[in-house]
Structure 1
Amino acid sequence: VQGAPAPEVRVSCYGALANRAGLRSGTVRAATLGEAAAAVGLELDLHVVAALNGERISRDPAFGLVAGDFVAFISADAGG
């Protein structure tokens, strides 16, 4: 809907990203993964990926979000 506010989504940042973003968890208004990342001072790139609702891993900034989504930002090399 044109002019409607972006959906409210929950975000968490882990490891060094929590320090970089300045928060460990909270809520933001974002229509895409890229907007959610920007809202916490991050950018999806080779080093930062997003886990959406614990199921999907993406670094696509245009991936759409809906109200109630949970986005966890993690370092792409966190697994070793």
Structure 2
Amino acid sequence: MVAVAQLGERVHPETRRTMSRPVCEVVGGTAHDADTPVLSELVRVALGEIPQYVPHRFLEPVQEDLGATLLP
């Protein structure tokens, strides 16, 4: 995958780690979860499929980034 845009980033309030939200394009290979203590699953979906995986609103900073960048 290649990052083609940056939705945003923030410092996680509990871990103090910088959390980045990139938009990626698949160019080859196999995606994998490199942060298993934080992430439970890695899924590639089209924008319109997001509600199937996240039926509620995202945390406000993520929702703001999505709204400003990708959502109508």
TM-score (norm 1): 0.27
Larger Rg: 2
Q: Which has the higher contact order (CA 8 A, sep 6+)?
A: 1
| Greater per-residue helix proportion | 2
| Greater per-residue strand proportion | 1
TM-score (norm 2): 0.28
